[in-house]
Amino acid sequence: MFIPVRDPDDPAIADYRAVRERDLVGRGARFIAEGEVVLAVLRRQPDFTVESLLISDKRLPTFDATAWPDAIPIFVAGQPVMDDIAGFHIHRGLLAIGRRVATPSVRDLIAQLPPAATVVGLVGIANHDNMGGVFRNAAAFGADAVLLDGTCCDPLYRKAIRVSVGGSFVVPYARAVDGDDMLAALDEAGFVSVALSPSGNQCLHELRPAKRSALLFGAEGPGLPKALLSRTLTVRIAMGGTMDSLNVATSSGIVLHHYAASQLCR
């Protein structure tokens, strides 16, 4: 259903107004996704719904409306009006309001995992680019879930979604109270928890993945808390030169590939 929008103050598109300002305060279970590639991923995921679309009139000739349910309103605006609504230039010309259907608890999510599973655990990841990068890697290398502590930023923040290229929709995730709560839930479910640290006791290339593995990553700078490191198997990525650590998203890609390689390279 195409609905023309000529006035940026039209109440029908209020959810799209001042996107960046709304990003800062959050939208609860709702979020904004942008771009054709991300929306193609979003519409295939059963745990998410799309409430509406906002599209630039220049995109109409190549836009496939049949890919979306008839009940979803599709607002169409000229590019200047669309930019005025959002508060900045939307060069992809396509936005959507989405909603996460349900948010499981950490223990409920873990209980749904198969007997052989790889989980990513994040502690203190506050950078949305890093969050999106980790989710992209988790999706690419077949991680079964991502667990977040209470200080991590939102994987459904618009920039995190964009960087993840929709990976935030693909990999199931849940939020623990803190790292201790996360580790306790993993221990209860029989996971071997592996903590990444520049001072890790073992090199990654020496590590044989366990049947149920949890890969824990902390923020750049402070890293994982010492109390958590003391309760896990600590692992480092071997490096040369003067650097002793990597960006957390890069580290997650290296470690997840190590864990997935035996299956992906058959």
Does residue 198 carry a pLDDT above 70?
yes
Instruction: Check residue 26 and give its pLDDT.
Output: 67
Does residue 266 carry a pLDDT above 60?
no
pLDDT band at 242 (very low <50, low <70, confident <90, very high): confident
Rounded to an integer, the average pLDDT of 33-58 is 94
Instruction: Check residue 104 and give its pLDDT.
Output: 92
Q: Give the three-state DSSP class for 122.
A: strand
pTM (whole model) above 0.85: yes
d(C-alpha 39, C-alpha 42), whole Å: 5
Share of residues in the chain with pLDDT > 70 (%): 96
98-117 b/e with 16+ CB inside 10 Å = b? bebeeebebbebbeebeeeb
Does residue 210 carry a pLDDT above 90?
yes
Residue 36 CB neighbour total at 10 angstroms: 14
Instruction: Check residue 199 and give its pLDDT.
Output: 87
Token pair 């580290």: residue:
251
